Amino acid sequence: MREKTIVSCSRIIDAGLIVFVLSLPLSVSGTEIGYYTALLAWIILMTVRKEVKLPSTPLDCPIIFFWLISVISIVFSINPSISITMLKKLPYFFLPYLMVDNIKDKKKLLTLIQALLISTTITASFGVFNYINGAARAYSSIGEHYILEVNALATFLIMVFPFAIVLVIYRKSLWLRIMNGFMALVIMSSIILTYSRSTYLGLAGIAIMGFFVKRIRYVSLSIFCLLIILFLASTVFRDKIEGMSHDGQERLYMWQIGWQMLKDHPFTGVGADCIEIEYPKYMTPCDKWPIRNNLHNNFIQEMAAKGIGGLIAFLYLLGAFFLTGVKTYKKSIPNDQKGIILGCMAGYIGFVIDGCFESTFFSWLWLFIMGVCLVINNHCFVQEKSNV
């Protein structure tokens, strides 16, 4: 009975994670159902095995610190009735640990990444389809999700795009390389058609990083050159960017409001999810800008919502992640796993650069990518004689 329960829980966890990654760009409800199903099965599994403990990872301290700061921002919020709704998001911080404890072979990991690419390609396809049918910019129109908004779509795509590129280069199966190449093309097309300047900067940052990696140098150079050619050679391209992007002055205005929020609440911030509630208090009657629910900058957003501790926790987590990624890449692991680590770090580079001009904490993709990196770091799969 015990063995059957363990096997059943393991299968439910695998299925839940698949539903989670397939739903990430498509459905908030699907994401929650998949994750919480996997989480519940994991708790039961640990209880049956009598091993109720989290696996050890190099990111334990920064994750716990970031989690504690998030809890503090809820407890000491200036509007607890609003912030308390964020409690349901706190369990997502167990995602990297769930992945490390249950993904112990390369095939499972690749299946999850491939599933994410498939669902992202579907979303990107709808963005291209909407553009072809007369929309001013590519945007998603399927499901009920945060990435229906064009800039959020662009951010999500740029974080997944590097995985498509590295799988084209590092996967052995020809048909899988062709399939991933097609998905990379669709995702790239949708990124371009969003006309999101911050995402273009993130894409340029990814290309610059790739230029220093011998095996993907020419792919990265091609992407960088494509961006330059589009900007220099296409008047339509430049006009659309200049005409449709948010005014830089408004962003400066939002950042100033964020700074004022920090000055008034330096230690705990205004509270989780309270930016929109507090925003009007810092406006004057003559202000021409609308009320915003975020500050279009991850770093300022964390400061305003969680205080100076929020910024420190965020920077600590980012720094620790990149350090872990570099150390894992330098290990004696097969090239395909090095490629996945590159995809993780490239996705985070896009996340960080884009996050300087947008608020990009709208999905749990960033925690999934962190989990992928930690799975390889903790298990370092041996080279398998396979065709994947």
What are the tens digits of pLDDT across the range 100-155?
999 988 999 999 999 999 999 999 998 888 888 888 777 766 666 666 678 888 99
Rounded Cα–Cα distance for residues 344 and 376 (Å): 11
Rounded Cα–Cα distance for residues 148 and 373 (Å): 28
- For residue 232, give every residue at least 6 positions away whose Cβ sits within 8 Å of its Cβ, in sequence order, or none: none
Rounded Cα–Cα distance for residues 39 and 27 (Å): 18
**Mean pLDDT of all residues in 361-367:** 85
Rounded Cα–Cα distance for residues 311 and 66 (Å): 9
For tokens 């500050």, what's the residue?
Answer: 295
Residue at 362: amino acid letter = F
- Give the chain's end-to-end CA distance (angstroms, integer): 34
Confidence bin at 383 (pLDDT 50/70/90):
low
DSSP code per residue over 38-87:
HHHHHHHHHHHHT--SPPP-TTHHHHHHHHHHHHHHHHT-SSHHHHGGGG
Task: Report the length, in residues, of the chain.
Answer: 388
What are the tens digits of pLDDT across the range 239-264?
666 655 556 778 888 899 999 999 99
Confidence bin at 2 (pLDDT 50/70/90):
confident
Up-side HSE of residue 60: CA atoms within 13 Å toward CB?
8
The answer, yes or no, to whether residue 42 has pLDDT greater than 60, is yes
The answer, yes or no, to whether residue 35 has pLDDT greater than 80, is yes
Burial class (CB in 10 A: 0-12, 13-18, 19+), 132: exposed
The token pair at 238 is 């430049």
The helix (H) or strand (E) run that includes residue 143 is none
The token pair at 183 is 């998905």
pTM value?
0.91
- Vertex 208, ends 202 and 209: CA angle to 5°? 90
DSSP code per residue over 197-262:
HHHHHHHHHHHHHHHTSGGGHHHHHHHHHHHHHHHHH-HHHHHHHHHHSPPHHHHHHHHHHHHHHH
What are the tens digits of pLDDT across the range 289-342?
777 778 889 999 999 999 999 999 999 999 999 999 999 999 878 888 999 999
- For residue 233, give every residue at least 6 positions away whose Cβ sits within 8 Å of its Cβ, in sequence order, or none: none
pLDDT for 122: 93
Up-side HSE of residue 379: CA atoms within 13 Å toward CB?
24
